[in-house]
Amino acid sequence: MTETEFLDPSEAPQIGRVTLAELRTSIAMGISDFRRAPLFGIFFSSFYVICGLILSLSGAGTFAWTLVLSLGFPLVAPFAAVGLYEVSRRLDVGEPLTWSGVVGVVWRERGRQVPWVGAILVLIFLFWSFFAHMSLAMFFGSMTLTNVSTSWEVFQTFQGRSLIAFEVIVGGLVALLVYALTVVSLPLLLDRELDFVTAMLISIQTVSKNRTVLLIWAGIIAISLFVAMLPYFLGLLVVLPVLGHATWHLYRRALYFSN
């Protein structure tokens, strides 16, 4: 597939079984892909590091908003994946790994189905942001007016601890929904010509059929992203590329095509 090639309509794939051994292999191949093409990985992940640093230094990096943004960050992280998937695809089939080729494919996606998935993710992220604001009012509404942006003591109260637990639970459920919608759909839309609704339904069905393994993978992603964001988001320069490459290889093991 080149940056100017348009794919013929594809049939829906068959969903296979993914084993823990295949998950380990996919992670190992993701690490290998990053080592083989580190500059591409750093390039596609640097946008999120820069955004994270801006948020941290602009006044949004307070306790309350750090919690909100940390839970919301995985909602937008899949956008870095398209370029990483293309890098892994080219390494798989031995196609030339050039900047013009990889970036050209990413640019071409603007006219396909990936932007529709992005629109869904933006709506979910906006809902999460609104919900986070409402939860602050819900838990702190009866308390003496306090600036939660500068006062950490308020989070040591019963209401503060309840807010943290509530946002972790709800944010985790929202992130799990996004994961189920995108873990297979984004690489599938890059690889094949399907509509985004079908791709997201296939992604949900794949997670359902491989519940144990793919929930373990979701946990690995969540923990890795959380740890990577701690040192001023700099860990994302390595973690995001490895996760993106590994997801491509996991996708290739989860779905089977007749053509």
pLDDT for 109 equals 80
Residue 60 inside a domain? The answer is yes
β pairing state of 255-256 and 14-15: antiparallel
Residue 9 inside a domain? The answer is no
Give the closest residue to 90 by CA, choosing from 197, 20, 3. Answer: 3
Residue 162 inside a domain? The answer is yes
Quote the CA–CA distance of 177 and 171 in Å, as a whole number.
Answer: 10
Based on C-alpha coordinates, what's the Rg of the chain? 19
Residue 6 inside a domain? The answer is no
pLDDT for 143 equals 55
Average pLDDT over the chain, rounded to whole? 81
Residue 8 inside a domain? The answer is no
Quote the CA–CA distance of 132 and 138 in Å, as a whole number.
Answer: 10
Residue 136 inside a domain? The answer is yes
Amino acid at position 221, single letter:
I
Residue 4 inside a domain? The answer is no
Parent domain of 159: 14-256
When divided into structural domains, the chain yields a total of 1
What are the Cα distances from residue 101, in Å, to 80, 104, 257? Answer: 16, 5, 25
Tokens encoding 228: 């990577």
Residue 252 inside a domain? The answer is yes
pLDDT of 72 strictly over 60: no
Q: Is the pTM of this model over 0.85?
A: no
**Residues 124-152: tens digit of each pLDDT:** 877 877 777 777 777 766 555 455 555 56
